[in-house]
């Protein structure tokens, strides 16, 4: 894909994610159900954090494209490295995990992850923007250009560290409020919850590996932008 076309795409994707993140973080307070958005606000939900992550990623991608267009190749090289690290370790596996885990649990019992009371607060289009469109965007990014993946050890350490930070955030919120971020967690005993977190980490690692596999199958080992 031409650099100018990539720049247009990344700019539009950045604007889209910025708009979606803005929309969810600026819901009117009086419209929110009492049990939602209390301690930690929306920032305790992986879905919302992922929207911010995607906006940052596409912003960095757009910057890399602009630097390449204006021939600032030395600066572009550094930004491209950051772009590829963001995509490989976080943007692709997290968006894939959010989409698949959300709709799997929603289909099983929506009250565990997205209570019906939210239907009157979050429009249908916004729900799909947060939980559905993120996966096609991630796959399109892989098709649009190659990304250089870090070594397996480095990638998994970074991904595991971010997962640890989020789990710690969830546990901290529970210690302060006595309420779980997602009602699903209340169903587990402490060992069961630990097993659930470990299983979730294993799943997101599999999505990391899947993204690396797709990148290699489509672009090979040697072609990088």
Question: How many domains would you assign to the chain?
Answer: 1
Query: What distance separates the 2 farthest-apart alpha carbons in the chain?
Result: 57
Instruction: Check residue 107 and give its pLDDT.
Output: 95
Ranked by mean pLDDT, which of 19-28, 112-121, 125-134 comes out on top?
125-134
Report the distance separating Cα 102 and Cα 114, nearest Å.
9
Residue 208: pLDDT band by 50, 70, 90 thresholds? very high
Answer yes or no: is pLDDT of 185 > 50. Answer: yes
Answer yes or no: is pLDDT of 94 > 70. Answer: yes
208 lies in a domain? yes
152 lies in a domain? yes
Instruction: Check residue 35 and give its pLDDT.
Output: 52
Q: Domain containing 164: what range?
A: 5-25+40-219
- Average pLDDT over the chain reads 90
Q: What percent of the chain has pLDDT over 70?
A: 93
Instruction: Check residue 42 and give its pLDDT.
Output: 83
Contact residues for 17 (Cβ-Cβ < 8 A; gap 6+): 51, 54, 55, 58
93 lies in a domain? yes
35 lies in a domain? no
81 lies in a domain? yes
Contact residues for 161 (Cβ-Cβ < 8 A; gap 6+): none
For residue range 31-88, list pLDDT tens digits in order: 555 455 567 778 899 999 999 999 999 999 999 999 988 888 788 899 999 999 999 9
Residue 224: pLDDT band by 50, 70, 90 thresholds? very low
DSSP category for residue 27: -
177 lies in a domain? yes
The predicted model scores a pTM of: 0.91
33 lies in a domain? no
On whether the CB atoms of residues 84 and 149 are closer than 8 A, the answer is: yes
Instruction: Check residue 222 and give its pLDDT.
Output: 46
34 lies in a domain? no
On whether the CB atoms of residues 49 and 98 are closer than 8 A, the answer is: no
User: What are φ and ψ of residue 56, in 5° steps?
Assistant: -65, -45
Answer yes or no: is pLDDT of 30 > 60. Answer: no
């Amino acid at each position: 894909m031409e650099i100018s076309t990539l720049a247009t795409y990344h700019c539009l994707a950045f604007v889209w994610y910025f708009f979606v993140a803005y929309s969810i973080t600026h819901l009117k307070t009086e419209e929110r159900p009492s049990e939602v958005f209390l301690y930690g606000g929306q920032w305790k939900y992986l879905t919302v954090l992922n929207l911010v992550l995607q906006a940052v990623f596409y912003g960095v991608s757009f910057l890399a494209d602009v630097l390449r267009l204006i021939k600032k190749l030395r600066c572009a090289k550094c930004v491209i490295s950051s772009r590829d690290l963001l995509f490989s370790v976080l943007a692709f596996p997290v968006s894939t995990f959010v989409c698949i885990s959300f709709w799997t649990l929603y289909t099983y019992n929506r009250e565990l992850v997205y209570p019906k009371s939210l239907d009157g607060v979050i429009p249908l289009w916004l729900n799909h923007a947060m939980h559905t469109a993120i996966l096609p965007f991630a796959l399109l990014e892989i098709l649009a250009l190659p990304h250089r993946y870090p070594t397996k050890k480095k990638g998994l350490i970074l991904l595991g560290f971010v997962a640890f930070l989020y789990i710690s955030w969830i546990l901290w919120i529970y210690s302060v409020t006595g309420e779980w971020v997602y009602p699903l967690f209340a169903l587990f005993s402490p060992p069961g919850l630990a097993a659930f977190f470990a299983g979730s980490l294993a799943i997101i690692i599999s999505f990391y590996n899947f993204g690396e596999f797709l990148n290699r199958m489509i672009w090979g080992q040697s072609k990088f932008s």
